[in-house]
Amino acid sequence: MSAGPDLSTPPPRIARALLSVVLPAPDRRFALADLEEELEQRVARDGARSARSWYRRQVLRSVLPGLRSRMAAFSRWLPGGDTRRKQRVEAGSAEDRHGIARQRGNAVVTFLGDLRVGFRSLRRAPLALTITVLSLGLGIGAVTAAYAVVNSLLFRAPVGLSQPDRLVTLYTSEDGGDAYGLSSFPDYEDVARELESLEGAAAIAIRSLDLGGTLEPRALLAEEVTANYFAVTGIRPVIGRAFAVGEGQPGAAQPVAVLGHDLWVQQFGADSGVVGGTVRLNGREHTVVGVAPDGVVSRRAPLEPDVWVPLGSVEGPESPRNAGLRDRGERRFLILARLRPGASLPNLRAQATVLEDRLAEEYPGDWTDSRGRGRVLTAMSERDSRLKPGTQALLGGIGVFFVGTTGLILLIACSNVTSLFLARANRRSREMGVRAALGAGRGRLIAMLLTEALIPGAAAGLVGLLVAAWIVGLVAGASLPMNLPVRLSIDLDGRVLGFAAATALGASLIFGLLPALHGSRPDILQALKGDGRVRRKGRMRARDALVVVQCAASLVLLVGATLFVRALGSATRTELGVDPERVAVATQTLALEEHGPEQGIQYYKDLRSRLAAVPGVEDVQLSRSLELTLLLVGARVEVTVDGTDPSPDREETYFRNTVTPGYMRMLGIPLLRGRSFQESDGLEAPLVAVVNQTLAERFWPGEDPLGRQFEVADPSAARHGLAHEPRTFQVVGVAADGKYGDFDEAPTPYFWTSLYQDYASTVAVSVKGVESAEAMIPVLREHVVSDIDQVQLLPPSTYASQLSIQFVHLRVASRLLTWGGAFGLFLAVIGIYGIVSVAVTQRTREMAVRMAIGAERGQVLRVIVREGMTLALLGLALGVLIALPAARAVRSVLAGVSPLDPLAFGAGLGVLLLAALLASVIPARRATRIDPMRTLRQE
């Protein structure tokens, strides 16, 4: 059997001596050390003869470059050499510039050489490389995805706008005092006509349109705009054209549309022939004249519109919606304008002040708010109005929460990888000592080790981008339990890619710098003697600090997760006032042209009878809204009562629901006094209502509300072709308070009216099953979802799933923090285990001496465990100091749970202490099993 390779084979002496003579001193020692390291590997792999031949070839290749470097250095010492060099510098000769280029080239060559050494070193540690890349990749991906969402909402410049610095947004103050409200169409006309600083102005309204004529009808997010919208914004369609001037007339004979890029791709396969074709929107054919660029976002919300249509073109000229264009009190438009060249925002604001004074004088009813104050026009730059002012702070807070949480996860990953690289630096102390003995300075060693750290950092950055793309896809594709056209525009654009690259570079420096600083100060004498034992001072102290950081960050995440889980549990146990058990829901919409109130009410009665006859159905009820769901939108009405305090501080608008008899009984809404609705409460009967306790106390404190009357005005009724004159209702019942819009809302005034008296064209159909809600979903699909051109605002689903959207923020936060806390706990346990294991190895002789002179095994165990637990306690103390203010910062969303909840802090502390104890005891028990005499003999 042949002997193994000789790992101590020296390099060829003549070749080594030749290279020593040829190379200049600054490069000699590094080059020789690098060649000898590679020689050792080739001896192990290919044998001594092949390795020595390779060494000779490398020396021969280096002779000529080395001689040139020698001659260049020698020429500086020749007579006149310094003078000639100064003359070349003064003349700016090309040779001197080439010298600078050579210096840069040498730096590049050195960097590439360090990369090559780093690749070779990491190739010998595949497990460490894999752990580093995966750990950092997950952390970088999470924080990049969080930043991508924040960037899309707050920082990204809108796509397609021309000269956005000249664009401004104008707002009209609302009744409640909000300065950033919408404007009416007559107000827009006055703004466009009278503000001389404007080159043009466009009005924008956002709405949902039904796309018909397809096998799967869908709801589209549409922007109704004036015909000059594309001219004002400067957005140019990628194919086709924008709207012409005459195409914006209400009720145009042939309405037109510009498609959004995503709709064009998804629905029409990116076919350029779509221009000139038609699409059916709300049952009316529209000619497609163009396709907008990809990524264009609505000015009303950070969403991508599916289609743009000229204002008033969807309905006929005499439709209630178009009739509202002449109503100065109907405010549903955002005004976007472009400044004239040379005009300034202060000039525009001064002109707006003059206009608002004139409007308040000429139209006091419409231009005076509910508190008797004149309305105000507010002009803001495009950058400051990308989102409605006031929402930036909320979104910024949410962004800080998610970026901060994912940043903690990345910090834990960096700490763990740093510990791993510190351990590698300890194992490479002999290598670093040899390099230092051969002349490598500390700065040179630090540069080499940092360059090596860039390799896994770059790989982790690529993995992080893949993880971020996956997370962003999940967020962008998330859907609500309603058929709402909500499609967030979240992209990994250049800013996000730059953020990911900076994060990967920062992570590389974080986990690479500390090991580089320690590895660049080797004990040369011990390294040359071959002593690779761990030195406690320095490296181990740094690893201790990292374990403390991991424990602290893990505690913050675990406490946060426990707080949000408890808040979620508290929210789901809150008495909501409705019982969704065994109830499934869907929506039904009737065309106003075909169904007036009489026909619609009869249709609803027939629908209830038809569904009630289906086997397995226990009860069927209809309603305008659904409490605690998104279908509560649009249920706000104005309420007045004779003899009440007319103070402007009193709220005058309240939420209501319009329901069929039996609705309150089916959902378990308790009736405290009087009666509920009856089948006889129809169009010819007196108008009746059931109020909740809070509304009764608001208007009739200490009095009997039964038989009392109040007046209701529905401002939105006119837009839907219904009677909008104020109507008087009589109270026939009082129901218990519940939750209507939000699960943590304070007691809110609320009332119900009869659907057979207070008609609505779109209703929620609620079916209660004998066995389960899921069994009722096919019933709704068969008997309610039948018209191919009818888009279901609320597709068949369980009522419980609709209620779950109330808790989505708590679910997302608790899951993110739970996964992050578990990840941090796992890494912290590994860190403590590693520290204690190294301590056991390091102090084996000490433990043997202790046991030899009579120490009990339990005493030895306590000495070692104390070390690991000390680190854990320091980390927990630091974590508590961080978690306390962090919990207070999110108290507004912790419904029913104190930010200083003792259970949350106790659970986090208990879990980490138990995990730290186990991580300390396992290696400590190994130390107690040593044979003292055998160990001392070996020493």
Is a pLDDT exceeding 50 seen at residue 835?
A: yes
Is a pLDDT exceeding 60 seen at residue 675?
A: yes
Are residues 214 and 794 in contact, defined by beta-carbon separation less than 8 angstroms? no
Is a pLDDT exceeding 70 seen at residue 691?
A: yes
Are residues 663 and 799 in contact, defined by beta-carbon separation less than 8 angstroms? no
Are residues 497 and 537 in contact, defined by beta-carbon separation less than 8 angstroms? no
Q: What is the mean pLDDT of the chain?
A: 77
pLDDT of residue 481: 56
Is a pLDDT exceeding 70 seen at residue 169?
A: yes
How far CA 833 is from CA of 201, 246, 409, 863, in Å, comes to 67, 76, 20, 15
The two tokens of residue 433 are 């000592």
CA–CA separation, 262 vs 304, rounded Å? 8
Q: At a CB cut-off of 8 Å and minimum separation 6, what does 427 contact?
A: 532
The two tokens of residue 346 are 């202060």
DSSP 539: I
Are residues 542 and 869 in contact, defined by beta-carbon separation less than 8 angstroms? no
CA–CA separation, 338 vs 231, rounded Å? 10
The two tokens of residue 237 are 């369609």
Are residues 24 and 75 in contact, defined by beta-carbon separation less than 8 angstroms? no
Which of 482-486, 583-587, 641-645, 712-716 comes out lowest in average pLDDT? Answer: 482-486
pLDDT of residue 88: 45
Q: What average pLDDT does this structure show over 399-427?
A: 78
Are residues 301 and 249 in contact, defined by beta-carbon separation less than 8 angstroms? no
- Pairing label, strands 198-212, 334-339: antiparallel
Listed as own residue / partner, the contacts of 599-603 with beta carbons closer than 8 Å and 24 or more positions apart are 600/759, 600/761, 601/682, 601/683, 601/755, 601/756, 601/759
The distance of Cα 180 from the centroid of its chain, to the nearest Å, equals 26
* Model pLDDT for residues 739-761, shown as the tens digit of each residue: 887 776 778 889 999 999 988 88
pLDDT of residue 525: 58
Q: At a CB cut-off of 8 Å and minimum separation 6, what does 180 contact?
A: 171, 173, 378, 388, 389, 390
Q: What average pLDDT does this structure show over 767-776?
A: 89
The two tokens of residue 928 are 């107690």
The distance of Cα 660 from the centroid of its chain, to the nearest Å, equals 41
Are residues 142 and 406 in contact, defined by beta-carbon separation less than 8 angstroms? yes
Q: What average pLDDT does this structure show over 21-50?
A: 74
The two tokens of residue 215 are 């096998």
Is a pLDDT exceeding 90 seen at residue 291?
A: yes
The two tokens of residue 251 are 């009720």
The two tokens of residue 411 are 């910090």
pLDDT class of 167 with cuts at 50, 70, 90: very high
CA–CA separation, 284 vs 255, rounded Å? 8
Helix (H) or strand (E) holding 222: strand 218-225
DSSP 639: E
CA–CA separation, 485 vs 488, rounded Å? 10
Helix (H) or strand (E) holding 835: helix 808-842
CA–CA separation, 338 vs 201, rounded Å? 6
The greatest distance separating any two alpha carbons of the chain, rounded to the nearest whole angstrom, comes to: 120
* Model pLDDT for residues 435-455, shown as the tens digit of each residue: 666 666 777 777 777 888 888
pLDDT of residue 690: 94
The distance of Cα 530 from the centroid of its chain, to the nearest Å, equals 52
Is a pLDDT exceeding 70 seen at residue 533?
A: no
Nearest Cα residue to 488 out of 332, 298, 211: 298
Helix (H) or strand (E) holding 198: strand 198-212
832 compared with 362, residue with greater pLDDT: 362
One-letter amino acid of 213: G
* String of DSSP letters for 459-477: HHHHHHHHHHHHHHHHHHH
Nearest Cα residue to 534 out of 422, 418, 421, 443: 422
The highest-confidence range among 372-386, 529-543, 693-707, by mean pLDDT, is: 693-707
| Residue listed under structure tokens 């990345």 | 410
3-class SS of residue 336: strand
Nearest Cα residue to 388 out of 716, 154, 149: 154
CA–CA separation, 485 vs 219, rounded Å? 6
List, in sequence order, every beta strand (DSSP E) within 770-816.
Answer: 797-798
CA–CA separation, 290 vs 452, rounded Å? 53
The two tokens of residue 404 are 């901060």
Q: At a CB cut-off of 8 Å and minimum separation 6, what does 809 contact?
A: 893
pLDDT class of 102 with cuts at 50, 70, 90: very low
| Angle at alpha carbon of residue 901, lines to 900 and 903, rounded to 5° | 140
Q: What average pLDDT does this structure show over 691-695?
A: 91
Is a pLDDT exceeding 50 seen at residue 872?
A: yes
Q: What average pLDDT does this structure show over 51-80?
A: 66
pLDDT class of 854 with cuts at 50, 70, 90: low
pLDDT of residue 213: 63
pLDDT class of 27 with cuts at 50, 70, 90: low
pLDDT of residue 693: 92
113 compared with 143, residue with greater pLDDT: 143
Q: What average pLDDT does this structure show over 909-935?
A: 74
Q: At a CB cut-off of 8 Å and minimum separation 6, what does 451 contact?
A: 111, 114, 115, 118
Are residues 377 and 511 in contact, defined by beta-carbon separation less than 8 angstroms? no
3-class SS of residue 254: coil
The number of helices, as runs of H, and strands, as runs of E, in the chain is 27, 21
How far CA 795 is from CA of 326, 588, 609, in Å, comes to 35, 10, 21
The two tokens of residue 247 are 């195409």
Q: What average pLDDT does this structure show over 342-348?
A: 90
Is a pLDDT exceeding 50 seen at residue 646?
A: no
Which of 235-244, 339-348, 612-621, 835-844 comes out lowest in average pLDDT? Answer: 835-844
pLDDT class of 394 with cuts at 50, 70, 90: low
* Torsions phi, psi for 618 (to 5 deg): -95, -40
CA-atom Rg of the chain in angstroms: 38
Is a pLDDT exceeding 50 seen at residue 184?
A: yes
pLDDT class of 170 with cuts at 50, 70, 90: very high
CA–CA separation, 551 vs 912, rounded Å? 8
CA–CA separation, 72 vs 187, rounded Å? 80
CA–CA separation, 281 vs 287, rounded Å? 10
pLDDT of residue 3: 40
Are residues 348 and 207 in contact, defined by beta-carbon separation less than 8 angstroms? no
* Torsions phi, psi for 627 (to 5 deg): -60, 140
The two tokens of residue 544 are 């201790």
**CA dihedral for 514, 516, 517, 519, sign (positive or negative):** positive
Q: What average pLDDT does this structure show over 655-679?
A: 90
Q: What average pLDDT does this structure show over 18-24?
A: 72
Would you tell me the crossing angle of helices 808-842 and 844-852 to the nearest 10 degrees?
60
The two tokens of residue 842 are 């390091």
pLDDT class of 476 with cuts at 50, 70, 90: low
Helix (H) or strand (E) holding 416: helix 391-427
Is a pLDDT exceeding 60 seen at residue 548?
A: yes
The two tokens of residue 732 are 């026939």
CA–CA separation, 469 vs 480, rounded Å? 21
* Torsions phi, psi for 279 (to 5 deg): -130, 150
Is a pLDDT exceeding 70 seen at residue 635?
A: no
Listed as own residue / partner, the contacts of 51-55 with beta carbons closer than 8 Å and 24 or more positions apart are 51/9, 52/9, 52/11, 52/12, 55/11, 55/12, 55/15
CA–CA separation, 734 vs 690, rounded Å? 6
Q: What average pLDDT does this structure show over 826-838?
A: 72
Q: How many beta carbons lie within 10 A of that of residue 567, not counting itself? A: 24
The two tokens of residue 303 are 């969403």
pLDDT of residue 100: 40
pLDDT of residue 5: 38
Q: What average pLDDT does this structure show over 423-445?
A: 70
Is a pLDDT exceeding 80 seen at residue 108?
A: no
pLDDT of residue 75: 52
pLDDT class of 732 with cuts at 50, 70, 90: very high
| Angle at alpha carbon of residue 635, lines to 632 and 639, rounded to 5° | 145
The highest-confidence range among 7-11, 788-792, 863-867, by mean pLDDT, is: 863-867
Are residues 454 and 513 in contact, defined by beta-carbon separation less than 8 angstroms? no
Which of 11-20, 530-539, 827-836, 883-892 comes out lowest in average pLDDT? Answer: 530-539
pLDDT of residue 721: 47
Buried-state track 619-629, b at ≥16 Cβ within 10 A, e below 16: bbbbbbbbbbb
